[in-house]
Amino acid sequence: MADMNYKLLLIIIVLSIVVVYGCESYNNQAVKDQDHIIDQDADIVDPLKEQIAQMTIDEKVGQMVMVGLEGYEKDQYSQEMIEKYKVGGFIFFERNIRDAYQTLTLINSLKEANKENAIPLFIAVDEEGGRVTRMPEEFIKLPASRLIGRINNEELCFKIGNVIGEELKSLGFNMNFAPVLDIDSNPANPVIGDRSFSSNEQTVSKLGTATMKGIQTNVISAVKHFPGHGDTSTDSHIGLPVVNCDLERLKSFELVPFASAVENGADMVMVAHILLPEIDEENPATLSKSIITDILRSEMKFDKVVITDDMTMGAITENFDIGDAAVKSIMAGADIILVCHDHEKQVKVLEALKQAAVDGIITEDELDMHIYRILKLKQKYNLNDEKIESVDVEKINEKIRDILGKDFCALKFL
């Protein structure tokens, strides 16, 4: 009996050693596996962050500025903007667009000039339809948003957005500053009016979001003019509009269409030069951290690209130094400064931003954060500087005729 007990004890000891060793081996292997996983994660590098780490300060600052140009051809100033200042893109106006062939040729020439730079250009335009249109005369004109709003059909809006995007892409554009998400709530408004879909926030929200989605099938859509330019009686091209509404009113009315756009995948928001003293009594929206960072980014959870309205508009130039304003806008949360006119003002903005970066006013981390958003958007739409050889205007016009159809004809002369 004692011998049996001895053998049983021996078996228990051996089994205990095996179990302990097995657990230790398992734990050691688990640690090794975990270390391997950590090592693998450490080896994963975000290509965009890697690219940003290799960029010069001039390249970074350049990406944060979009500029206008003069005339129907690339000139020495636009060449300088590309070669010396490495700008992120250009905006076109009527002064740059004569016909389809000339527009295509100009865009191709800008892309060709940018081939030495690693990052492709944004090529943008305001193509809303109605009275705000830049397209060559060969294309059939699209109706104003107010007219489309009367039909009040989301599918129609998506189709119109889609054909606008196709039209722009065929010429080499890759960005459209549209649709307008302002609510036409003030009959005395000198700048919005029929550019808005409606005086009803839900209608603007529904139709604006559908139009944005349609545009996005072909090019980038920048919704505008955040936080809402509808209830103004001053044209921000001339002076600084003031909107006397508090945050509660803003959230329940003006911001409704923008909230819908953000929830539905907006890629870019354009901020307006309007002063809302109930929220920020000192700074217009484009320079206001309270509006861009606190409201748009933090509360509305928008983490993509924010661009300013044109900084050469009277609302800014009549009240601020444009260089200081550009720096303040970036510090407030904007990613891109839009400077549509005047070569000297464009240079001043670029140099002010560079100096702010050199001085650490805009920190390296902040700078890289803005660049990351910009490059991610360019990557998403697979932008490149490849030339487009020709454009089939008639094919697009036929699609426009089909989309507008009887619904538009019934309202055309109202």
Catalytic residue IDs: 237, 309
Look up residue 361 and give its amino acid: I
H or E segment at 82?
helix 76-83
Upper half-sphere CA count for residue 279 (Cβ side, 13 Å): 27
The strands making up 175-176's β-sheet, listed across from edge to edge, are: 305-308, 268-271, 220-226, 175-176, 122-125, 89-92, 65-68, 337-339
Contact 357, 72 (CB under 8 A): no
Length of the chain: 414
Nearest-10 crossing angle of helices 393-411, 154-171? 150
Alpha carbon dihedral 306, 221, 216, 409, in 10-degree steps, equals 160
CA distance 14 to 12: 5
**Distance from C-alpha of 61 to C-alpha of 189, rounded to nearest angstrom:** 35
Which residue carries 């944005």 as its tokens? 212
| Token pair 């508009």 in the structure block, residue | 313
Provide CB contacts within 8 A for 29, sequence distance 6+: none
Helix (H, G, I), strand (E, B) or coil at 351: helix
CA-CA-CA-CA dihedral for 337, 341, 343, 348, to nearest 10: -40
